[in-house]
Amino acid sequence: MRILVVEDEATIRESLKSRLAEAGFTVDVAQDGEEGLFAGLEYPLDVAIIDLGLPKLSGLDLIRKLRAQQKSFPILVLTARDRWQDKVEGLEAGADDYVSKPFHFEEVLARVQALMRRAGGWATPELVCGPIVLDTRKQTVTVNGAPVDLTTYEYRILEHMMLRAGEVISKAELSERLYEEDLERESNVIEVFMGRLRRKLDPDDTLKPFETLRGRGYRFAIPRSSG
Amino acid sequence: MHSLSRRLLLSVSASLVAFFGVAILVLDSSFRDVTDRSLQDLLDAQIVLLVATSDAQPDGVFAPPTRDLPSRLAIPRSGLYAEIRKSGADESPWRSPSTAGAYINFGPPLKTGEKELRFTAVNGEDVAIASRGISFEDEARVRHNLTISVAASLKPYQEQLWSYRSRLFGGFFGLAVLLLATLGGLLRWVLSPVRRLEREIHAVEEGSQPSLGEGYPRELSGVATNLNALLAGERNRMARYRNTLGNLAHSLKTPLAVMRTTLGTCAPEQANVLGAEIDRMSDIIEHQLKRAASGGALLGQAPLDVEPLVSELRTTLLKVYARKDLLLSVTAEPNAQFVGDRGDLFELLGNLLDNACKWCKSQVRVGISSDAAAEPRQRLCIVVEDDGPGITEADSTRVLERGVRIDESVPGHGLGLAMVRDTVDLYGGKLTIARSELGGARISLALPGR
């Protein structure tokens, strides 16, 4: 797993570098926004940690430039500015999560690992399958234009299935998408979520978006029209 | 009463009444002098005429010849009457034919050279009676003392006076109305920039306009320019202040982060103690600086739509609480607007939503609406509900108590909610804590809005 750390404070940068290396990452470091942009564009990264207060190119601008260049690896933001407006701006710019300074390394590591499990939706801002539209930026779902309230897990299952519409997806794979910890879950949990999704998306049972394939898993039956 | 145009109109009306009143009195009294003199002249002329034409008649009565009588004396009840009386004589006096059927008391006889003018009423008619005593020597050189009286009805004079007066009053009244109407129109025109200033200041207060417009007359443009400069200065000052506080937080927290990362090299006991202190310092920085940076209502702030802001926060919180299976639903009226600072609204909603997401089992509901009937400072309603443990009554009273310091207030929901309370107070809004039908806390805010 290759990770980029962009941080201008040498002590923090070096500490993150050594502890992430201990955790098994291949670590690239950059000490300002421009170096960070170069590394972000050139190296095949799996995840990046970016401080918002950077010299030369601010963290926010760096994230915007990376996203504009179609880089979709997850980004964790480190910030000392923790007004909600700053946090929201960071995530709007294209980051996936944030940690406030001063931080505990364990927190950073946990967030990074969680991010790598949920691939960010930055490559595909909107998924459209027939009447079902999923906005990955806003995490909202509409059916025939009417908003549908989904829980985090329901949303995540739907997003994964719409991203891979037409493919057979096993229960184990869905379960892995849901839980960040590798815990054994009761086998019927996914069935419960599928049942709830069917009721919320297709109360009249006319769309039939999910196909159950006994013993193999599920398939999203409506083909992707865009995204 | 505190209206300039009303004051001016009232004072002008009062002086008009006084001015016209005096003018009417003066004109009226001089007109009456003129009519009195012409009445007097008429009576004198009649007496002189009677004296000149009268002579002793065969029956001993002094009278003018019937043929030569002026027609007004000849026609009964014409309004002009005459009497010639011989003093000391028994025979009845001569009376003009016009007195027929009317009893007129011409008064007592006068001595020679005496003159009298009396006013009396005859058959309900006001008359003026002029009498003169003369001495008359007839052909037989006998002297007679005669009293010649002429009475004239005042009716034509009174009619003239009243018509004059009604014309006078009518004229002045019309003039006054015209003057006041003109003045009112002028005032409207002259004061219209003042009214515009008032309207624009109100608009700035309400937030529908960021500053006062251009094109005020010279006397007001100074006020408008200064007000605008004040508004702009205040906004800039506030922005600089917030920036400074943000930078201060940033520059304090980065060294703290450095300290925390180097803790790994210390002995575990020291690391624990220092770590706790670092946490405390960063909490203090966070809460005190955030609190100091919240601005409250500033004049001339453009109202902002609440819905996009809530949906941005929703996305952020779903990412932050990705490990929890949350149902975070937002119901927002699209036209609900907040009048105040964007950062403050972010803090308010962020803290409330963060608390709700932290404490809920799985469900958080946000409602945004505007209540046009409420007063402007409490027009925007924000309701955040969750299905968590809720807030006990004792804790909510403590949060709502004024003057409770942030670090003393309710744990759990505490810090965030206490900051929300402070900010709501700054805006003159209202914070209510209740139990939600979802089972947890239901926190409603009433804030300046549109």
Domain extent listing, chain B: 4-160, 212-293, 294-447
- Hey, where are the domains in chain A? 2-118, 124-220
**Cα separation, B19 vs B31, whole angstroms:** 18
Higher-confidence residue of A116 and A148: namely A148
Angle among Cα A124, A126, A127 to the nearest 5 degrees reads 90
CB contact under 8 A, B250 and A96: no
Q: Is B83 in contact with B46 (CB distance < 8 Å)?
A: no
- The B residues from 146 to 175 touching A (CB cutoff 8 Å) are none
Please tell me if the domain spanning A2-118 has the same topology as the one spanning A124-220: no
CB distance A91–B249 less than 8 Å?
A: no
Q: Distances from the Cα of A215 to the Cαs of A55, A168, A170, A171, in angstroms?
A: 55, 11, 9, 9
Give the CATH fold of the A124-220 domain.
Answer: Arc Repressor Mutant, subunit A (1.10.10)
CA–CA dist B445, A102 (Å, integer): 32
- How many residues comprise chain A? 227
Q: Which helix (H) or strand (E) holds B36?
A: helix B4-53
Q: For chain A, say whether B362 makes contact (Cβ under 8 Å).
A: yes
User: pLDDT by residue (tens digit) across A163-191?
Assistant: 888 888 888 888 777 765 555 556 678 88
Query: Which residues lie below 8 Å from residue B300, measured CB to CB, with a gap of 6+?
Result: B204, B207, B209, B210, B211, B231, B235
Do B319 and A96 make contact, defined as CB atoms within 8 angstroms? Answer: yes
Query: Rounded CA gap, A13 and B183, in Å?
Result: 79
pLDDT of residue A187: 65
Q: Which of A152-161, B187-196, B342-351, B403-412 has the lowest mean pLDDT?
A: B403-412
Say yes or no for a CB contact (<8 Å) between A91 and B286. no
Relative to beta strand A47-51, strand A75-79 is: parallel
Cβ proximity of B309 and B276 under 8 Å: no
- Inspect the interface and report whether the beta carbons of A85 and B343 lie closer than 8 Å: yes
pLDDT of residue A185: 57
Q: Is the dihedral of CA B29, B31, B37, B39 positive or negative?
A: negative
Which stretches of chain A sit within 8 Å of chain B by CB? 9, 11-12, 15-16, 19, 53, 78, 80-85, 87-88, 91-92, 96-98, 100-105, 114, 118, 137-140, 149-155, 180
Q: Would the CA dihedral through A170, A175, A176, A177 be positive or negative?
A: positive
Mean pLDDT (whole number) for A107-122: 77
Asked if the model's pLDDT at residue B289 lies above 70, the reply is yes
Closest residue of A to B350, CA-based? A84
Residues A138, B314: C-beta atoms closer than 8 Å: yes
| Nearest residue in chain A measured CA to CA from B316 | A88
pLDDT given at position A107: 87
- ipTM metric: 0.82
B34-48 pLDDT, tens digit each = 988 988 898 899 888
CA distance to partner chain A, nearest, from residue B294 (Å): 10
Please tell me what DSSP assigns to residue B339: -
Query: What pLDDT, in 10s, does the model give residues B316-351?
Result: 888 888 878 889 989 888 888 888 888 889 988 998
What architecture (CATH level 2) is domain A2-118? 3-Layer(aba) Sandwich (3.40)
Asked if A15 and B256 come within 8 Å (Cβ–Cβ), the reply is: no
Tokens encoding A149: 């309230």
Task: Please check whether residue B50 is in contact with residue B82, taking contact to mean a CB–CB distance below 8 angstroms.
Answer: yes
Distance (Å, rounded) from C-alpha B20 to C-alpha B180?
Answer: 13
> At B408, is the pLDDT very low, low, confident or very high (cuts 50, 70, 90)?
very low
Mean pLDDT to the nearest integer, B192-199: 87
Q: What is the average pLDDT across B165-190?
A: 90
pLDDT exceeds 50 at position B409: no
Alpha helices (H) in B214-297, listed in sequence order: 218-262, 268-293
* Alpha carbon distance A79, A108 (integer Å): 12
pLDDT tens digits for range B49-102: 888 888 777 777 788 887 778 888 888 888 888 888 887 666 678 888 888 877
Tell me the pLDDT band of A50, cut-offs 50, 70 and 90.
Answer: very high
Report the residue of chain A nearest B312, measured CA to CA.
Answer: A88
B247: nearest CA partner in chain A:
A81
User: Nearest 5°: CA angle at A201, between A197 and A207?
Assistant: 115
Before A102, cis peptide (omega within 30)? yes
Output the pLDDT for position A71.
87
CA angle A207, A210, A213 (to 5 degrees): 140
Among candidates B257, B316, B325 on the partner chain, residue whose Cβ is nearest the Cβ of A102: B257
B294-447 is a CATH 3.30.565.10 domain: yes
Distance from CA of A91 to the nearest CA of B (A): 6
Higher pLDDT, A35 or A120: A35
Which residue in chain B has the smallest CA separation from A11? B258
How far apart, in Å, are the Cα atoms of A22 and each of A45, A111, B86, B312? 18, 16, 155, 36
pLDDT of amino acid B135: 84
Residue B397 and residue B421: Cα distance in Å, rounded? 12
pLDDT at position B271 is 83
> Distances in Å between the alpha carbon of B198 and those of A217, B193, B215?
70, 9, 14
* CA angle in degrees (0–180, nearest 5) for B424-B376-B427: 20
CA distances from A28 to A22, A38, B260, B264 (A): 14, 11, 22, 22
Give the model's pLDDT for residue B218.
Answer: 86
Over residues A216-224, the mean pLDDT reads 85
Chain A contact present for B265, CB below 8 A: no
Given an 8 Å threshold on Cβ–Cβ distance, is B347 in contact with A85?
Answer: yes
Per-chain mean pLDDT for chain A: 85
Residue B385 is which amino acid?
Answer: E
In this model, does residue B297 exceed pLDDT 80?
no
